[in-house]
Homo-oligomer: A and B are copies of this chain.
Amino acid sequence: MAHFTHHSEENYLKTLFKLESRQDKKVNNTALAKALNLNPATVLEMIRKLTDRKMVQLKPDKSIQLTEKGKKKALLTIRKHRLWEVFLVEKMNYKWNEVHELAEQLEHIESADLVDRLDGFLGNPPFDPHGDPIPDKNGKIKPNLSVPLSDCIPGKNYTVINLIDTSDEFLQFLGKLNILPGRRIKLLEKLKYDNSFSVEVQEKTVQFSEKVAKNILVQSV
| A residues lining the B interface (CB < 8 Å) | 1, 37, 88, 91-94, 102, 105-106, 109-111, 114, 117-118, 121
CA of A105 to CA of B88 in the docked complex: distance in angstroms?
A: 18
CA of A105 to CA of B110 in the docked complex: distance in angstroms?
A: 8
Q: How far is the CB of A114 from chain B (nearest CB, A)?
A: 6
Q: How far is the CB of A90 from chain B (nearest CB, A)?
A: 11
Let me know if A109 and B111 touch, CB within 8 A.
Answer: no
Q: List chain B residues, Cβ under 8 A from A1.
A: 37
A-B contact pairs, 16 of them (CB 8 A): A1-B37, A88-B114, A91-B121, A92-B114, A92-B117, A92-B118, A92-B121, A93-B117, A94-B117, A102-B109, A102-B111, A102-B114, A105-B109, A105-B110, A105-B111, A106-B109
Q: Lowest 7 A-B CB distances belong to which pairs?
A: A92-B117, A105-B109, A102-B111, A1-B37, A91-B121, A102-B114, A106-B109
Q: List chain B residues, Cβ under 8 A from A88.
A: 114
CA of A6 to CA of B220 in the docked complex: distance in angstroms?
A: 40
Q: List chain B residues, Cβ under 8 A from A111.
A: 102, 105
Q: List chain B residues, Cβ under 8 A from A117.
A: 92-94
CA of A37 to CA of B37 in the docked complex: distance in angstroms?
A: 36
Q: How far is the CB of A89 from chain B (nearest CB, A)?
A: 12
CA of A94 to CA of B121 in the docked complex: distance in angstroms?
A: 12
CA of A88 to CA of B109 in the docked complex: distance in angstroms?
A: 13
Instruction: With CB as the reference atom, state the residue of chain B lying closest to A117.
Output: B92
Q: How far is the CB of A151 from chain B (nearest CB, A)?
A: 21
Q: List chain B residues, Cβ under 8 A from A110.
A: 105
Q: List chain B residues, Cβ under 8 A from A92.
A: 114, 117-118, 121
CA of A123 to CA of B117 in the docked complex: distance in angstroms?
A: 21
CA of A88 to CA of B111 in the docked complex: distance in angstroms?
A: 12
Q: How far is the CB of A79 from chain B (nearest CB, A)?
A: 16
